[in-house]
């Protein structure tokens, strides 16, 4: 019997250097330090391009070891998209070019062009054979879940199959879930029983393909895999059983005929099927796939990967910005490379691994997209505004841009400012994420920060907490955390209820559409947003109109906002203009000044009125400032979410909410409010520019 071992090592574009260093020391280096001693064992190896480029620069001796193992015939190098894109999320030409970039690099370093490709997150769609074939790829690996979803059984999966799309052929190997959950977590006798049973049935091939990080970086595995010797015992087991079990490469086994033809539908691994579903259905799916009765697990299909773009509008914003840029960057290699780097998959989804909840990974996507835009922008001063369906949901948005800023407005919900790119720092300072219910939140109360991983469970089976009392932060927003969010509130609303997002708002402006018009003038562009809404009292809607006019001028990093509030409301009410700024963290030298001195970005409460609200982030090199007309107070709090990662449940800072509030009295006529939002840069000495 043959065993294929495929190790996939990946770090997303934008991950911090120390994270890569930790992963290298915990998993990437020790794995091969052990493997090199077992000369009869062959593996297949994939490194994503961002990680491998880092290794080339930082760890030349390690790369030399990999080259030596390749020369000895003990490694087959597997290719993939250079910056680990999910191929179904990007244009086919981009996917082919990314694979060619990666294959070129592998051929340059290892002297042989890869024949196979690792699919990011094993996300497969029916057109994938065409994409890979055009890029010169002959085989790939997916999960057994892909095959079981179309009615195949476990016994059908010990081999490989041939598929095609419009005549483009591809060999597809099914990786076995049992091996994913056994290696390196279960005792070797469990693995031995499974493989001998397969051999006894006459099966010729078993395939294991999974993340290299599970060998030392996943919780508890450093101790179990290396200190307690699981990996060494595994290699000794393989070495001692070569009479009936031998490790082979993909290319070696392709000399054996396939089991037959196959056509797969849109699938990934089973856990991704859970994460990509709406939360309620995700819980049902999780219960179904966890059922111990085999009869309950026949042809269970989870969600569709692209549903992440619906589930998380913040993901869709990045995705559609990327799609709009990749078309116009085709003739500029420098800009195109930035687009490729922004296609790294991690920031576009969320599960145990997905990085959407990690601000620094979202920031990386925006950084590269803004860098591409800067390269493609006119070099002379300019300003322009458009109204168009930029996020492709069938309803228009508005976009204002000049040399310094690019501002996106969500017209169908509140006319809010949901993206503000400060081009000199290549930073979207409003890459916010709102607090939402996730299916795993029900498990938060059952976890403890004292729980310890022992390396016997996969991260899919563990639930740990990084701190006690995380349930205290489980509040959910009923609107997107953007800026220029217009709150019409009763005088009885409290800061606490507003923070919890558990209050009644008599105005109908936050989630309702605004009418928009845009006028481009010689040196400025003006966006007019109007909503003829209501102030609801006793079931009666009292007419209330809010008009906000946004002006951007050429060659200035500022946006001017003028409000006009008018209507038949006879009682005073509170009007708040909410801003959310997404800094990459809340600590270090970051601060805000709401008029009474520097305070942390995580400060909570109601502060005295101030006409100048300042924020300072020397790490992103941005310092936004809000100037406003005489508010009665300023409300603030950090927007924090409880999310799940490889190391358990954790609290993540997403943005700082800041809202100047006015007491509005319309009995003597309309009320005007003027604001100015300026984004200043910070130089290398951390001084304002």
- Residue 391: pLDDT above 60? yes
Distances from the Cα of 257 to the Cαs of 204, 254, 261, 303, 339, in angstroms?
11, 7, 11, 33, 40
Residue 512 counted as domain residue: yes
Q: Are residues 388 and 362 in the same domain?
A: no
- Percentage of the chain lying above the pLDDT 70 cut: 96
Residue 451 counted as domain residue: no
Could you give the angle at the alpha carbon of 17 between the alpha carbons of 11 and 20, nearest 5°? 40
pLDDT of residue 324: 97
Residues 4 and 208 sit within 8 Å (Cβ to Cβ): yes
Q: Are residues 279 and 360 in the same domain?
A: no
Q: Are residues 138 and 221 in the same domain?
A: yes
- Percentage of the chain lying above the pLDDT 90 cut: 89
Distance CA 584, CA 511 (A): 27
Q: How many whole angstroms from its chain centre is CA 514? A: 30
Q: pLDDT tens for residues 552-595? A: 999 899 999 999 999 999 999 999 999 999 998 999 999 999 99
Half-sphere exposure at residue 67, Cβ-oriented, CA atoms within 13 angstroms: 16
pLDDT of residue 448: 58
> What is the pLDDT confidence band of residue 406, given thresholds at 50, 70 and 90?
very high
Q: Are residues 381 and 488 in the same domain?
A: yes
The DSSP H or E segment spanning 313 is helix 313-328
Q: pLDDT tens for residues 115-166? A: 999 999 999 999 999 999 999 999 999 999 999 999 999 999 999 999 999 9
Q: 102-110 contacts: CB < 8 A, separation 24 or more?
A: 102/49, 103/79, 103/135, 103/136, 105/49, 105/52, 105/53, 106/77, 106/79, 109/56, 109/63, 109/67, 110/66, 110/67, 110/70, 110/77
> What is the pLDDT confidence band of residue 286, given thresholds at 50, 70 and 90?
confident
The DSSP H or E segment spanning 383 is strand 383-388
- Residue 465: pLDDT above 90? no
Residues 647 and 464 sit within 8 Å (Cβ to Cβ): yes
Distance CA 620, CA 618 (A): 6
Q: Are residues 648 and 503 in the same domain?
A: yes
Distances from the Cα of 240 to the Cαs of 224, 245, 247, in angstroms?
21, 9, 12
Q: How many whole angstroms from its chain centre is CA 452? A: 27
Among candidate residues 76, 94, 121, 143, the one labeled active-site is: 121
Q: How many other C-beta atoms can be found within 10 angstroms of the C-beta atom of residue 520?
A: 12
Could you tell me which residue, 400 or 294, shows the higher pLDDT?
400
- Greatest Cα-to-Cα distance within the chain, rounded to the nearest angstrom: 94
Residue 251: helix, strand or coil by DSSP? helix
> What is the pLDDT confidence band of residue 456, given thresholds at 50, 70 and 90?
low
Provide the domain count of the chain: 4
Q: Are residues 343 and 399 in the same domain?
A: no
Among candidate residues 211, 377, 629, 646, the one labeled active-site is: 211
Residue 449 counted as domain residue: no
> What is the pLDDT confidence band of residue 460, given thresholds at 50, 70 and 90?
very low
Q: Please, which residues bridge with residue 406 across strands?
A: 401, 421
The full 3-state SS of 415-466, as one line of letters, equals CEEEEEEEHHHCEECCCCCCCCCCHHHHHHHHCCCCCCCCCCCCCCCCCCEC
Q: Which domain holds residue 666?
A: 377-435+465-681
Give the residue-averaged pLDDT of 21-37.
98
Residues 550 and 400 sit within 8 Å (Cβ to Cβ): yes
Give the residue-averaged pLDDT of 667-681.
97
Q: How many other C-beta atoms can be found within 10 angstroms of the C-beta atom of residue 394?
A: 7
Residue 193: helix, strand or coil by DSSP? helix
- Of 144, 194, 166, 161, residue with least CA distance to 3: 194
pLDDT of residue 78: 98
Residue 648 counted as domain residue: yes
Residue 452 counted as domain residue: no
End of a domain among 266, 286, 315?
Answer: 266
Give the residue-averaged pLDDT of 462-490.
90
380 flagged as catalytic: no
Among 245-249, 261-265, 447-451, 667-671, the least confident range: 447-451
Residue 450 counted as domain residue: no
Residues 228 and 89 sit within 8 Å (Cβ to Cβ): no
Q: Are residues 88 and 142 in the same domain?
A: yes
- Residue 425: pLDDT above 60? yes
> What is the pLDDT confidence band of residue 293, given thresholds at 50, 70 and 90?
low
Q: Are residues 419 and 514 in the same domain?
A: yes
Residues 609 and 631 sit within 8 Å (Cβ to Cβ): yes
Residues 633 and 607 sit within 8 Å (Cβ to Cβ): yes
End of a domain among 257, 284, 303?
Answer: 303
Q: Are residues 529 and 646 in the same domain?
A: yes
Could you tell me which residue, 493 or 446, shows the higher pLDDT?
493
* Average model confidence (pLDDT) across the chain: 94
pLDDT of residue 292: 62
CATH of the domain at 73: 3.20.110.20
121 flagged as catalytic: yes
Distance CA 158, CA 201 (A): 10
Give the residue-averaged pLDDT of 655-682.
97
Residue 496 counted as domain residue: yes
- Residue 642: pLDDT above 70? yes
Q: Are residues 223 and 284 in the same domain?
A: no
Give the residue-averaged pLDDT of 67-71.
98
Residues 367 and 381 sit within 8 Å (Cβ to Cβ): no
Residues in the chain, total: 689
- Residue 294: pLDDT above 80? no
Torsion of CA 580, 480, 483, 426, to 10 degrees: 70
Strand 116-118 with 139-143, pairing: parallel
Q: Are residues 178 and 283 in the same domain?
A: no
- Of 462, 354, 372, 433, residue with least CA distance to 123: 354
End of a domain among 332, 355, 376?
Answer: 376
pLDDT of residue 297: 60
Among 281-285, 330-334, 521-525, 658-662, the least confident range: 281-285
Alpha-carbon Rg for the chain in angstroms: 27
Torsion of CA 233, 236, 238, 239, to 10 degrees: 180
DSSP codes, 102-157? HHHHHHHHHSS---EEEPGGG-B-TTHHHHHHHTT--EEEEEHHHHHTTT--GGG-
Residue 441 counted as domain residue: no
Could you give the angle at the alpha carbon of 600 between the alpha carbons of 563 and 407, nearest 5°? 35
CATH of the domain at 424: 2.70.98.10
Q: Are residues 359 and 385 in the same domain?
A: no
Distance CA 10, CA 48 (A): 5
């Amino acid at each position: 019997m043959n065993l294929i071992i495929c190790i996939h090592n990946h770090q997303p574009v934008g991950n911090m250097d120390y994270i890569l260093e930790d992963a290298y020391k915990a998993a990437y280096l020790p794995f091969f330090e052990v493997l090199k001693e077992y000369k009869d064992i062959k593996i297949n190896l994939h490194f994503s391009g961002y990680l491998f480029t880092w290794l080339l620069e930082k760890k030349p001796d390690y790369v030399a070891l990999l080259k030596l193992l390749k020369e000895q015939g003990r490694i087959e190098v597997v290719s993939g998209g250079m910056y680990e894109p999910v191929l179904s999320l990007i244009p086919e030409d981009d996917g082919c070019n990314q694979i060619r970039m990666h294959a070129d690099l592998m051929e340059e370093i290892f002297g042989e062009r890869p024949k196979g490709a690792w699919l990011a997150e094993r996300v497969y769609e029916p057109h994938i054979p065409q994409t890979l074939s055009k890029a010169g790829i002959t085989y790939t690996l997916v999960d057994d879940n892909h095959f079981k979803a179309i009615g195949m059984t476990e016994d059908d999966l010990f081999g490989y199959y041939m598929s095609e799309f419009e005549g483009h052929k591809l060999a597809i190997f099914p990786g076995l879930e049992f091996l994913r959950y056994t290696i390196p977590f279960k005792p070797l006798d469990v693995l031995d029983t499974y493989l001998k049973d397969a051999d006894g049935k006459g099966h010729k091939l078993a395939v294991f393909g999974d993340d290299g990080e599970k060998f030392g970086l996943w919780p508890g595995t450093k101790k179990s895999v290396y200190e307690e010797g699981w990996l060494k015992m595994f290699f000794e087991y393989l070495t001692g059983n070569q009479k009936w079990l031998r490790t082979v490469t993909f290319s070696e086994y392709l000399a054996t005929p396939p089991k037959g033809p196959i056509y797969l539908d849109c699938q990934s691994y089973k856990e991704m099927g859970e994460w990509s579903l709406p939360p309620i259905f995700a819980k049902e799916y999780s219960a179904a796939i966890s059922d111990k009765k085999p009869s309950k697990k026949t042809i269970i299909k989870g969600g569709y990967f692209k549903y992440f773009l619906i589930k998380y509008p913040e993901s869709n914003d990045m995705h559609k910005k990327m799609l709009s840029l990749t078309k116009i960057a085709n003739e500029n290699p420098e800009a195109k490379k930035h687009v490729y780097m922004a296609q790294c998959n991690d920031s576009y989804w969320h599960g145990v691994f997905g990085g959407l909840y990690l601000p620094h990974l979202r920031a990386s996507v925006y950084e590269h997209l803004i860098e591409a835009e800067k390269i493609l922008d006119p070099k002379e001063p300019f300003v322009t505004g458009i109204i168009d369906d930029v996020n492709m949901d069938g309803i228009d948005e508005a976009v204002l841009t000049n040399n310094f800023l690019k501002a996106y407005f969500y017209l169908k919900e509140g006319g809010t400012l949901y993206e503000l790119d400060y081009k000199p720092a290549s930073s979207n300072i409003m890459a916010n994420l709102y607090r939402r219910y996730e299916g795993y939140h029900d498990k938060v109360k059952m976890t403890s920060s004292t729980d310890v991983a022992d390396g016997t469970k996969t991260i899919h089976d563990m639930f740990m907490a990084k701190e006690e009392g995380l349930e205290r932060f489980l509040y959910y927003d009923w609107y997107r955390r953007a800026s220029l969010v217009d709150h019409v509130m009763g005088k009885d609303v409290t800061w606490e209820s507003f923070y919890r997002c558990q209050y009644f708002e008599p105005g109908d402006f936050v989630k309702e559409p605004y009418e928009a018009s845009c006028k481009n003038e010689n040196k400025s562009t003006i966006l007019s947003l109007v909503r003829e809404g209501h102030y609801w009292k006793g079931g009666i809607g009292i007419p209330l109109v809010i008009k906000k006019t946004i002006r951007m001028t050429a060659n200035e990093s500022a946006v001017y906002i003028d409000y006009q509030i008018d209507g038949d409301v006879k009682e005073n009410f509170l009007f708040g203009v909410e801003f959310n700024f997404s800094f990459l963290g809340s600590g270090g030298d970051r601060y805000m000044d709401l008029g009474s001195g520097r305070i942390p970005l995580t400060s909570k409460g109601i502060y005295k009125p101030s006409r100048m609200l300042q924020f300072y982030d020397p790490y992103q090199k941005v310092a936004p400032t809000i100037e406003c007309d005489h508010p009665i107070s300023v409300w603030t709090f950090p927007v924090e979410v409880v999310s799940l990662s490889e190391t358990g449940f954790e609290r993540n800072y997403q943005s700082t909410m800041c809202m100047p509030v006015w007491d509005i009295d319309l009995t003597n006529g309309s009320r005007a409010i003027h604001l100015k939002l300026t984004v200043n840069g910070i130089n290398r000495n951390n001084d304002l520019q």
